[in-house]
Amino acid sequence: MIENKLQQAVASALKNLYGIDATPESVVLQTTKKEFTGDYTIVVFPYVKQARKSPEMVANDLGAAVKQTVEEVSDYNVIKGFLNFSIADSYWNSFVSQNRNNENYGLKAPAADEKPIVVEYSSPNTNKPLHLGHIRNNLLGWSVSELLSANGANVKKVNLVNDRGIHICKSMLAWLRYGNGETPESSGMKGDHLVGKYYVEFDKHYKEEIKQLMAQGMEEEEAKKQAPLMVEAQRMLKRWEEGDKEVRDLWTKMNSWVYAGFDETYNRLGVSFDKVYYESNTYLLGKELVQKGLDMGVLFRKEDGSVWCDLTADGLDQKLLLRKDGTSVYMTQDLGTALLRTQDFDAKQLIYVVGNEQDYHFKVLKLVLGKLGFDWGEKLYHLSYGMVELPNGKMKSREGTVVDADDLISEMEATAEEMSREHGKNDGMSEQQLKELYHILALGALKYFILKVDPAKNMLFNPAESIDFNGNTGPFIQYTHARIRSIVRKAEEQGIHDQEPVVVPALNEKERAVIKCLHDMPGIISSAAENYSPAMIANYAYDLAKSFNSFYQDTPILREENVAVKTFRVQLCAVVAQAIKNTMRILGIEVPERM
C-alpha cells in the first residue's frame, strides 16, 4: 500500500538528510484535511530539533527527497510544518483495476496454525426469552468475531448458557405452583416465552409475600430472605445440586422448551456458535478449583461454611465463591468454564462480551485465576458494553417490562414492509422475494442502528429512526448497494464490466474521493479490530455509501459517451459494491441485489 511506501521513504530521507534514525512505523501519516491540497500528510515537527532547521525547510527537504524516490507521488506542498503529498492518478487507476473482481477486498485470510481467539457472547439465562439487551450482546459478539476474522484472526464463537441457579429455580417453582401443567404445545407459546412468564409470576407472588411479612413487623431485608417462596426456591437449588431426580427431570423438561425457543430467535437474528457450554457442566469443575484454592491457602472458609477469596490487597474486597450451604455462585462456574475453554482451544485470547455492570466481576475472575496459579488468566479480556434503553426507560425482566427480541424483530419486519411500500422499493418482486427483502431490511436496520454506536456507550434504541432509508442507517447503505448492483448488471448486459483494466487520463474530484475512501478500507478494518469496534466499520460503510452517492449524482456512468471512461466507472462501481458487501457482512448484515 502507498502509505507504507511513503513511511519508508520518509524514514530513509530522515536518515540520509539529517542522520535521524526513525522506523517507518514511527512516521505518522495522516489523510490530508479537505481544506488542503494533497492525499497524505506528514507532520514534521517531531524532527525539527534534530534537523536544526525550520519546519518549512525540513518539510521541503523531505518532500523533494520522497518525490524523487516514490514514483506514485505526483507533487507535494508545504504549509508550515505540514508536508502534503499528492498521489498520481495512475496509482488510483491501478488500484481500481487490481480490485475490480476481488471478492475478498479488504479482508485478510487467517494465518496458518494461528491459535484461536475465543469470543463468548449471548450467555442467556434459561428463565426468560431473549430481549433487546441480549440483541445488543449477540450482535456485538457476532460482529466482533467477524471483524477479528476479517483482520486475519482464527476465531471461535462460543456461548455459555446459564442453565442453573436460583433464577432457574424461581421459574420452575412458579410453574409447579401456578402452571397447571401448561406446555408450549398447550399454550401456543414459544418455550422461552412460557418459562419467562413463570419467572414474572414468581416475582409477583414473592413481592406479595414480602409485603405481608413487613406488615407483620419484619424488616424488608429479612422479609426478602424469609419469604416462603424464596426459602423454597433455595431449597430446590440445593436439591438440584444434590442430583434430586424429580427436580432434575423438571429442570431438563423446562430447559428443553427454552433451548428450542432460543434456537428460533438465534436463527432469525442470523447468529450462531462454534461451541455451546452449559453452566450445569462447568460449575463442578469450578468447585474443584475452589477446593484447590483452599488446599493452596489462597482461599478461606468462614465460620458459616462459605468460601471466600480475600482481594483487599489488590484494592478490591472479599469475594464469595461458595455459599454456606455449599451451592456455587456465578464466579464458581466462571472459573470452571475458563479452565475448560482454555483446555479445549489453547486460545491466544479469551474475550467475554458482557455488559458493563459486570466490570467488577471480570476483574475478580482474572485475579482469582492468577491466585490459583493460572498465568493464562491474563489472556482474559472483558469487552464491556453499555446498556440499551428505550425512549420510555430501562427494561426489567422480573417485572415483565422487557422488549422481547422476537416481538421486536417482527415489528421491524412490519415497519420495513410499510416503509418499502411507501418508497416504491418493491416493484416486480414475488411475495416470497418481498418477504425475504423485508426481513433483510429489518435486520439491517436493527443491526446497523445498534452496532454504529461505540460499544462502551449506553444507547437509546429508536425503531422508527433505525429503518429510515435516508441518513446514517442500514437501509440507506443497503439501498446504495442495490443501486450499484443494478448499474453493474446493466453494464454487464452491454459487455462492459468484464473488459480489461482501463486507464483514464484524469480522475475527477468525485471519482478520487470514492477511490480514496475505498483505499482506506483495509486500514479501517485493522484499526477497528484492534479496538474491538464494529462502530468504526459501520460508520466507514456509511461514509463510503455517501461518497458513492455524491459521485453518482454528479457523474454520468452508463450515459458516459467515452467507452474507456464508462468502463472505468463501472469497474469502480463494482469495487464499491463489493466493499459495502464485505463491510456489512462484518456487521452480520445482508445487502440485497435488488430493491
The model's pLDDT over 337-364, given as tens digits with 9 standing for 90+, comes to 999 999 999 999 999 999 999 999 999 9
Q: How are the residues of the chain apportioned to helix, strand and coil, as percentages rounded to the nearest 5?
A: 60, 10, 30
Work out the pLDDT band at 529, boundaries 50, 70, 90: very high
Mean pLDDT (the chain) is 93
Q: What is the DSSP track for 149-205?
A: HHBT--EEEEEEEB--SHHHHHHHHHHHHH-TT--HHHHT--HHHHHHHHHHHHHHH
Cβ atoms of 136 and 447 closer than 8 Å? no
pTM to 2 decimals?
A: 0.91
Cell 409475600 locates to 209
pLDDT over 90 for what percent of the chain? 83
77 forms beta bridges with 84
Q: Which of 172-176, 316-320, 467-471 has the lowest mean pLDDT?
A: 467-471
Residue of 430 and 548 predicted with greater confidence: 548
Strand runs labelled E in 506-557: none
Cβ atoms of 273 and 158 closer than 8 Å? yes
CA separation (Å) from 400 to 62, 109, 128, 131, 263?
Answer: 66, 45, 10, 11, 21
The model's pLDDT over 243-262, given as tens digits with 9 standing for 90+, comes to 999 999 999 999 999 999 99
∠ CA(300), CA(304), CA(305), 5° rounding? 50
The model's pLDDT over 210-254, given as tens digits with 9 standing for 90+, comes to 999 999 999 999 999 999 999 999 999 999 989 999 999 999 999
- Domains delineated in the chain: 2-87 (3.30.1360.70), 121-389 (3.40.50.620), 406-586 (1.10.730.10)
**Residue 496, pLDDT score:** 87
Average pLDDT over residues 74-78: 97
The model's pLDDT over 372-427, given as tens digits with 9 standing for 90+, comes to 999 999 999 999 999 887 765 444 444 445 678 998 899 889 988 888 887 766 66
CA separation (Å) from 290 to 165, 512, 531?
Answer: 18, 62, 34
∠ CA(515), CA(488), CA(431), 5° rounding? 125
Residue of 465 and 579 predicted with greater confidence: 579
Average pLDDT over residues 35-52: 94
Q: Is pLDDT of 327 > 80?
A: yes
**Residue 490, pLDDT score:** 95
**Residue 113, pLDDT score:** 80
In the chain, the amino acid numbered 580 is I
* Cα–Cα distance measured from residue 339 to residue 374, given in angstroms and rounded to the nearest whole number: 9
